[in-house]
Amino acid sequence: MIRKIIHIDRDKCNGCGACAKACHEGAIDIVDGKAVLVREHFCDGLGDCLPACPMDAISFEEREAPAYDEAAVQRAQKLAKAKPFSGCPGMRAKQMQHREPTPGAVCPSQLSQWPVQIKLAGVAAPYFEDADILIAADCTAYAYGNFHADFIRGRITLIGCPKLDAVDYTEKLTAIFASHNIRSVTVARMEVPCCGGIEYAVQNAIAASGKDIPCRVAVIGTDGTILEERVS
């Protein structure tokens, strides 16, 4: 039959797996580092995967394809619930408890969730609800010695590098901000000009979300000092 179904552009796909996670029917798998529509009869043609893709690699097309088989999807979903998670470990969302440092001991990690890469984080992850979010350039944690205690502690952490990732985070962050009640956003960036891309993306995402989210920006020098702090 001719029907509407998704098309995945392999050249654009970065293999992050966000589409596979967003597809509630389980039509998409990651094969050889790329997203593939492996079960056409599981695709309902509604496109929940489209907004999840950070690379704009998914679109609709009309072509010959098997009809959507809702009964098969339901059977597969029941079977999946009985099995442990078998996807990429880096994509498995989880939360951890904040830990208090013991006097005289090495300060424990304050990271409260996984994954931390902006490109890997799921838009619908429950830990974003009522959260204070830290969005940090990945070099900041290496430059600033007390990063866990002063920045990560008490916040949901997302990291990225706008220069190395060569992607605009605005769309992904907009979706996160629009889908959840975000209490505040803290941006930690380096003093180098290319690091301004992460601040720019956050500011644009807040504006695009239509919400009034308090945003604090900390600019960290390559010598590990905080050069500037501002609130918008």
Contact, 114 vs 129, CB < 8 A? no
pLDDT band at 218 (very low <50, low <70, confident <90, very high): very high
Cα 229 from Cα 231, distance rounded (Å): 7
pTM of full prediction above 0.85? no
Q: Are strands 34-37 and 28-31 parallel, antiparallel or unpaired?
A: antiparallel
Q: Which CATH number fits domain 2-85: 3.40.50.300, 3.40.50.2300, 3.30.565.10, 3.30.70.20?
A: 3.30.70.20
Contact, 41 vs 72, CB < 8 A? yes
Non-local (6+) Cβ contacts of 186 within 8 A are 132, 133, 134, 135, 151, 155, 215, 216, 217, 218
Question: Which pLDDT score, from 0 to 100, does residue 73 have?
Answer: 87
Cα 86 from Cα 80, distance rounded (Å): 10
Q: Are strands 2-8 and 28-31 parallel, antiparallel or unpaired?
A: unpaired
Where in the chain are the domains? 2-85, 93-231
Burial class (CB within 10 angstroms; exposed 0-12, middle 13-18, buried 19+) of 105? exposed
Question: Which pLDDT score, from 0 to 100, does residue 89 have?
Answer: 62
Mean pLDDT score of the chain? 88
pLDDT, tens digit, 9 for 90 and up, residues 34-49: 899 999 999 999 998 9
What is the CATH number assigned to the segment(s) 93-231? 3.40.50
- CA torsion angle 192 183 115 199 (round to 10): -20
The token pair at 76 is: 């597969």
Cα 134 from Cα 226, distance rounded (Å): 16
Intrachain domains 2-85 and 93-231 with the same fold: no
Cα 25 from Cα 72, distance rounded (Å): 9
Amino acid present at 33: G
Q: Which residues pair with 4 in a beta bridge?
A: 62
Cα 110 from Cα 101, distance rounded (Å): 9
Question: Which pLDDT score, from 0 to 100, does residue 166 have?
Answer: 77
CB count within 10 Å of CB 1 equals 8
Question: Which pLDDT score, from 0 to 100, does residue 91 have?
Answer: 63
Max mean pLDDT range (29-38, 56-65, 75-84, 116-125): 56-65
- Helix, coil or strand: residue 204: helix
Contact, 4 vs 62, CB < 8 A? yes
Q: Which residues pair with 132 in a beta bridge?
A: 184
Identify the weakest region by mean pLDDT among 26-35, 68-77, 93-102.
93-102
pLDDT band at 202 (very low <50, low <70, confident <90, very high): very high
